[in-house]
Amino acid sequence: MAKSSKLKRDSSTSASDKPIKSAPGPEAGFPINIGISEEDRKSIANGLSAFLADSYTLYMQTHNFHWNVKGPMFNTLHTMFMQQYSEQWTALDQIAERIRALGFAAPGTYAEYARLASVKEVEGVPSADNMIRILVKAQETTARTARSLFALVDKAEDQPTADLLTQRLDVHEKTAWMLRSLLED
């Protein structure tokens, strides 16, 4: 594995450019033949792994903020954050299972997520307004990671992954809009 794979991805790097550290390739002894080349499946799995890392970090932030929000918007945000992290939890499984269907191991450790994620962890407990701002940014970052995969997914004619990404983009963009609306006068 090249040393460059340990570098954090910035916004100019495609999610599919970031190799999966733990991906062993096709299942030993039983090759995968789903109409997508192994090279394309690996690139897509790499991108989905970065997307999973962003999604997991977003999930953790949202759950953390649910636990720790306070102030005049407590009830609204506490309830909203719970709905968001519950939806996100289900999505994590869908993303990981797509990586597995492509024949690669899904990342599943904090170390892997820290290495792969574009969404940055937050230290401490921000104010309610800052929680909202942080989550808007994280939702948008996660959406950009998903969107960065479409060229590769389209080239490989990988409709199931395209469908998953489209569904997730709809959720992330709508959630970012709803959170942004809370900050408007």
- Residue 110 in any domain: the answer is yes
Residues 6+ apart with CB under 8 A from 27: 103
59-111 per-position pLDDT tens digit: 999 999 999 999 999 999 999 999 999 999 999 999 999 999 999 999 999 99
Could you report the per-residue pLDDT of 3-25, keeping only the tens digit for each?
333 333 444 445 555 555 444 55
Q: Does residue 146 form part of some domain? A: yes
**26 occurs within a structural domain:** no
Would 131 be classed as within a structural domain?
Answer: yes
Does residue 43 lie in a domain region?
no
What is the arithmetic mean of pLDDT over 49-54? 98
Checking 105-112 for CB contacts under 8 A at 24+ apart, the result is 105/20, 105/22, 105/23, 105/24, 106/49, 106/52, 107/20, 107/21, 107/22, 107/49, 107/52, 107/53, 112/21, 112/22, 112/49, 112/53
Q: Which residue has the higher pLDDT, 116 or 14?
A: 116
User: Is the entire prediction scored with pTM above 0.75?
Assistant: yes
Is position 88 within any domain? Answer: yes
- State how far the Cα of 26 lies from the Cα of 9, in Å rounded to an integer: 25
pLDDT tens-digit series, residues 123-166: 999 999 999 999 999 999 999 999 999 999 999 999 999 999 99
Residue-range definition of the domain harbouring residue 66: 48-181
Q: What is the CATH number of the domain that holds 77?
A: 1.20.1260.10
124: exposed, middle or buried (C-beta count within 10 Å: 0-12, 13-18, 19+)? exposed
Residue with tokens 């709803």: 178
Return the pLDDT at 184: 87
**CA-to-CA distance for 13 and 77, rounded, in angstroms?**
33
As for how many domains the chain has, the answer is 1
Residue 41 lies in a domain: no
CB atoms near residue 76 (< 10 Å): 12
User: 66 and 85 in contact (C-beta within 8 Å)?
Assistant: yes
Question: What number is the average pLDDT over the span 14-37?
Answer: 64
Residue 163 lies in a domain: yes
